[in-house]
Structure 1
Amino acid sequence: MKPNQTRYLHTIKEAAELLGVGRTTMYDLLNSGLLRVTKIGTRGIRISDDELKRYIAENSESR
């Protein structure tokens, strides 16, 4: 990927790193429906940047 190129879809590993959670927690979020995925082909799944932002906004506490 080029240095200034924006990624719109992330692998599960990348999304977990962006959220600061482990792989198991990421799969729990996906399986519970708290995070929605984008299917690529028959086996590939990705999480959109917008979906990560939505999840963060909905689960942020204001103090």
Structure 2
Amino acid sequence: MISDLLIKFEPIANQQGLALTSNIHHVDYSLYGDSAKIQQILSILVSNAIKFTPYWTGSDHVTTDAF
């Protein structure tokens, strides 16, 4: 899910002069819930990170951790 999200937003980040990176910890875990809603929430978070990071100021980073 995260990898697909990064692929979707990478061109948008590049247009803003940003590098979109990730650090995904491959841990076996389950997340119970509406996958479409979870995808929507993650998309909004990444979109806002890109939108509100000033042009050419660096990178946005996505990290996952088990909680």
Q: Do these two structures clear the TM 0.5 threshold for a shared fold by scoring above it?
A: no
Scaled by the length of structure 2, the TM-score of the pair is 0.35
- Higher RCO (CA < 8 A, seq sep 6+): 2
